[in-house]
Amino acid sequence: MFRALADPTRRAILDRLRRREHGVGALCEPFAMTQPAISQHLRVLSEAGLVRSRRQGRERIYSISPRPLRQAFDWLAHFESFWTDRLDALGDHLDDDP
Amino acid sequence: MFRALADPTRRAILDRLRRREHGVGALCEPFAMTQPAISQHLRVLSEAGLVRSRRQGRERIYSISPRPLRQAFDWLAHFESFWTDRLDALGDHLDDDP
DNA sequence: TTGACACATAAGAATGTTCTTATATGATGT
DNA sequence: ACATCATATAAGAACATTCTTATGTGTCAA
């Protein structure tokens, strides 16, 4: 799933979808890339559970599906004390979830 | 940088370093992988700014370097409203940073 | 200074990713 | 039924990742 977030195009797509949902055509527009390439990225995002889609006429509308993003967020939150503590440099981080 | 987080071995290394700093030998121990493989992962983490290291005798001690983790965390935090709001299903997420 | 230890680097094989072009599918309007 | 629009899928080329084994580098201890 972090793998799906590893690609900058896919992160840009998510940033775009964060603002509002979009059809594929609209998602393609800002990228210097063919439509199949975007569809493939959407597939990766979809398989990672990061987006969902529904049909609407002949368009397919994609939107954010937040659950895995939240998992990633929660994982990173484990490291929060590293930038919160001023004790940072002391290597003072022992088990916070035993 | 998300690319560096995309590999499960590297995330496991970070999880390990989150608890305390470690030498390479200790980091290798839980993995079914050779020492050079781990050293290569450590190099990727280091180039992404996710870990730092210092020499201590003949050991090299690795520890977390939190700045890029925080960037990732901040990026994901942009999506926080998706799992916070109960309006989730309404696609009601318009610009929150214009 | 020599041997052993802890680690890094190099080279290469296997596999995975990310694009392209060409083609298939599914819905709409006539 | 047919042409068209919106999108998906397939096949393949180019490049990147992730391991392996073999070897290099720096530190310590005798």
**Closest Cα in chain A, distance from residue B84 (Å):** 10
Residue with tokens 């937040």: A66
Q: What is the DSSP string of B60-92?
A: EEEEE--HHHHHHHHHHHTTHHHHH-S-GGG--
pLDDT at B88 over 50: no
Would you state the pLDDT for residue A76? 97
The predicted-structure confidence for A17-32, as pLDDT tens digits, reads as follows 999 999 999 999 999 9
Domain positions in chain B: 2-88
The predicted-structure confidence for A32-73, as pLDDT tens digits, reads as follows 999 999 999 999 999 999 999 999 999 999 999 999 999 999
Determine the average pLDDT of the residues in A71-83: 95
Mutate to test the interface with A, among B1, B61, B69 (most CBs of A within 10 A): B69
Contacts of B39 (CB under 8 A, 6+ apart): B24
pLDDT at B31 over 70: yes
Phi, psi torsion values for A52, nearest 5 degrees: -125, 170
The predicted-structure confidence for B41-62, as pLDDT tens digits, reads as follows 999 999 999 999 999 999 999 9
CATH architecture of B2-88: Orthogonal Bundle (1.10)
- Specify whether domain A2-87 bears CATH 3.90.226.10: no
